[in-house]
Amino acid sequence: MKTILAVLLLTVSAYGQPLKLDPDVFAKRRHAFIEKMEPGSVALFASKPEYDRNLDVKYEYRQESNFYYLSGFEEPESILLLAPSHPRFKYVLFLRKRDPRRETWEGPRSGTEGARTVFHADTAFVIEDFDSHIWDFSNNDGALYYGFGVNPEIDGKIKSLFVDGRSGRNKAILDPATVVDEMRLVKNEGDWSMGLKKAIDISVEAHNEAFKAIRPGIYEYEVQALFEYVYRKNGSPRNAYPCIIGSGQNATILHYETNTRQMQRGELVLMDCAAEYGGYAADITRTVPVSGTFTKEQKEIYRIVLDAQNAGMKMVKPGATLGVISAAIDTVLAEGLLRLGLIKSSNDRRLFSLHGYSHWIGLEVHDVGGYTRKGKEITLEPGMVFTIEPGLYIRPAVFDLMKERGYSDGEIGQIRARAEPYLNIGVRIEDDILVTPEGYRNLSEGVPRGISEVEAQMKRR
């Protein structure tokens, strides 16, 4: 049997290229944010701190998303300042100073010159000088936009300077997320050029390669390795989230991440895996038969989930809501479970479906942006991107929950007998959906969903 790596070398696409940042994209975002700021105000964004993994190893660094969204700058120990009222310097970066000794070990730093020439800051200072230079940009009248909770060290600095009275220049503090979240909710050309579609395309390729590699006897972690190989080969620096490869009973665990089990003939494997590219996250899930062909019972559960997802997709259009989409999915799932005799009321569908069916995606896999405005559910607009991901999980623990919901012992016994052929079947199907003026586009449609299409792709081993 050929190894997965050997299969990959024959099948994956040409090497991807690293992302090239477009300064104009970030400039337009900063301008849009500044247009929404209160007169005379300034905005500060803190970088994420670095975290120690163990004694002298740190976790891989990823910049705070709003900081990155407005600048493209990815170094730690930095602060982004926007000062629209300043006559010359409206975009300022405070960052680490150049240090040849440290750069020999860790790689080059941008320094103040790089901040100006590469990231187009109007001016830049080393972060040690923040306390003194901040007063060049902040007067006593306007508010301060700052989101606490990103970086404890910088939080303390901001609290000391602007909140607790030590400086004598206290300010009203406004959360910039109220502005940036709305900006990030509706995607535009900058989001596509900076990586969102590429993240999805890489993830689509990885899923298709996984289809062709899965077979009885391989381990879940081998499939994870395949996904991550395709990601890196195509320029993705990291996973969008921990890879879920759940075979057999593990498919019924929603956020299973151990990925150590050996797959057996006749089982399903649920793969919830996606790449990050340019800071953007995809989110795709497929469930496939380890042997390459669905059993009768697997087909029945799979078809219910697929029909539910299709029903949800048909509801997507400008002016619709995620609630309308969820209601359509709920109806199909309930009808399918009732038909199989696994529930006695449509209201009990949640015994087997467990989770919500949609969330925004973007720089976060569960991206920012509210789901309500002024107490009413948000209506969909062209440019919004979200998932549709129904699932059913037939697990033994459900019978204990039925007792809590008032099912009698006799009813539970009958359902248990009917459920026996379906136990440990877990199915989730998830796609990334773009709202268009005419309706929607399934951005991850390149990964097969239909039963015959899935089986055909798996036969291309």
Tell me whether residue 205 is one of the annotated catalytic residues.
Answer: no
Number of domains observed in the structure of the chain: 2
Tell me whether residue 428 is one of the annotated catalytic residues.
Answer: yes
Tell me whether residue 272 is one of the annotated catalytic residues.
Answer: yes
pLDDT, tens digit, for every residue of 370-405?
999 889 999 999 999 999 999 999 999 999 999 999
283: in domain: yes
Tell me whether residue 335 is one of the annotated catalytic residues.
Answer: no
Tell me whether residue 86 is one of the annotated catalytic residues.
Answer: no
Catalytic site residue from 96, 349, 428, 449: 428
Tell me whether residue 22 is one of the annotated catalytic residues.
Answer: no
Rounded Cα gap, residues 150 and 146, in angstroms: 10
Tell me whether residue 283 is one of the annotated catalytic residues.
Answer: yes
- Is the pLDDT confidence value at 3 over 60? no
pLDDT, tens digit, for every residue of 74-112?
999 999 999 999 999 999 999 999 999 999 999 999 999
Work out the average pLDDT over 168-180.
87
Q: Which helix (H) or strand (E) holds 25?
A: helix 23-35
- Is the pLDDT confidence value at 4 over 60? no
Q: What is the mean pLDDT of the chain?
A: 94
- Is the pLDDT confidence value at 322 over 60? yes
Catalytic site residue from 201, 276, 389, 432: 389
Tell me whether residue 431 is one of the annotated catalytic residues.
Answer: no
Work out the average pLDDT over 429-449.
98
Catalytic site residue from 102, 265, 355, 418: 355
* Domain shared by 222 and 133, yes or no: no
Work out the average pLDDT over 19-43.
95
Catalytic site residue from 272, 330, 367, 431: 272
Q: What is the pTM of this model?
A: 0.93
Half-sphere exposure of 124 (CA within 13 A, CB side): 24
Rounded Cα gap, residues 429 and 450, in angstroms: 10
Tell me whether residue 405 is one of the annotated catalytic residues.
Answer: no
Burial 439-451 (b: 16+ CB within 10 A, else e): ebebbbeebbbeb
pLDDT of residue 13: 38
Tell me whether residue 75 is one of the annotated catalytic residues.
Answer: no
* Domain shared by 87 and 174, yes or no: yes
* Domain shared by 172 and 201, yes or no: no
Catalytic site residue from 367, 430, 431, 432: 430
Catalytic site residue from 31, 53, 265, 366: 366
62: in domain: yes
* Domain shared by 114 and 209, yes or no: no
Tell me whether residue 164 is one of the annotated catalytic residues.
Answer: no
Work out the average pLDDT over 189-193.
96
- The closest of 284, 379, 372, 389 to 326, measured between CA atoms, is 389
Rounded Cα gap, residues 213 and 101, in angstroms: 46
pLDDT, tens digit, for every residue of 285-304?
999 999 999 999 999 999 99
Catalytic site residue from 53, 102, 166, 255: 255
**Residue 302, domain extent:** 195-458
Catalytic site residue from 207, 359, 395, 449: 359
The domain that contains 161 carries what CATH number?
Answer: 3.40.350.10
- Is the pLDDT confidence value at 9 over 60? no
- Is the pLDDT confidence value at 66 over 70? yes
* Domain shared by 124 and 36, yes or no: yes
SS3 category, 211: helix
